[in-house]
Amino acid sequence: MRQLRPLFFAPVLIALAACSPQPDPVDDGDPPFDPATRTDATLPPAAPGDGAAPASEEQAQVATAVLEPTEGNATRGELRFEAANGHVRITGQVTGLSPGGEHGFHVHEFGDCSAPDATSAGGHFNPDDSQHGRAGQGEHHVGDSDNLMANDEGVAEVDRELHGATIGDGGSTDIVGKGVIVHADADDYVSQPTGNAGDRLACGVIQAL
């Protein structure tokens, strides 16, 4: 009987071994993906439209203008136009104004400052054929803006808005390529078609960045 015991247990051991869970096969390929160690070389290509807007779209939202004095005047300045909150915000500085004076300030229909008095810039930019008025308050030209206020040194810090204007979209309200004018007198926001703002002290052309 003792000689038969090993033969009795051998089938039992084989059966138990067959039922035991087997270890997963070893993967000799790439290691598991780890975001902490991912490099740019392993990044998938960005889908169209993902990420930041194309440079052309960003640039279309900003423009500048350099104001040069008209004949016999000393007014000059640098302006920045930027799309913001559905409007166009104008910032910058204008010098050479009458100390403490108030001066009309508009975008005009042509980017042409060649005439000595800048009349080559035409009238106010008015693509909607509206009445002249005050920006943001009833009917007004797209090129209408609030007056500039000069300090005692004849310097105006510009922070104004155009309502209804756009930058670089090629539409009827696009101000790129238009002229910008500083006038000798205050705009009364009522008189047609210019607000009785007087002579043109400086002129510049709006250019997209």
Helix (H, G, I), strand (E, B) or coil at 87: strand
Answer yes or no: are the C-beta atoms of 59 and 208 closer than 8 Å.
yes
Answer yes or no: are the C-beta atoms of 206 and 179 closer than 8 Å.
yes
Interatomic CA distance for residues 52 and 103, integer angstroms: 40
Residue 68 CB neighbour total at 10 angstroms? 15
189 phi-psi bin (left φ>0, alpha ψ -120 to 50, beta other): left
Interatomic CA distance for residues 148 and 183, integer angstroms: 9
Answer yes or no: are the C-beta atoms of 162 and 142 closer than 8 Å.
yes
Nearest 5°: phi and psi at 204? -145, 165
pLDDT by position in tens, the chain (length 209): 444 444 444 444 444 444 445 545 445 555 554 544 444 444 444 444 444 444 444 445 899 999 999 999 999 999 999 998 889 999 999 999 999 999 999 999 999 999 999 999 999 999 989 999 888 888 899 999 999 999 999 999 999 999 999 999 999 999 999 999 999 999 999 999 989 999 999 999 999 98
Interatomic CA distance for residues 49 and 57, integer angstroms: 12
Interatomic CA distance for residues 199 and 209, integer angstroms: 29
Write down the domain spans for the chain: 61-208
The pTM of the full predicted model, rounded to 2 decimals, is 0.71
Q: Which fold has domain 61-208?
A: Immunoglobulin-like (2.60.40)
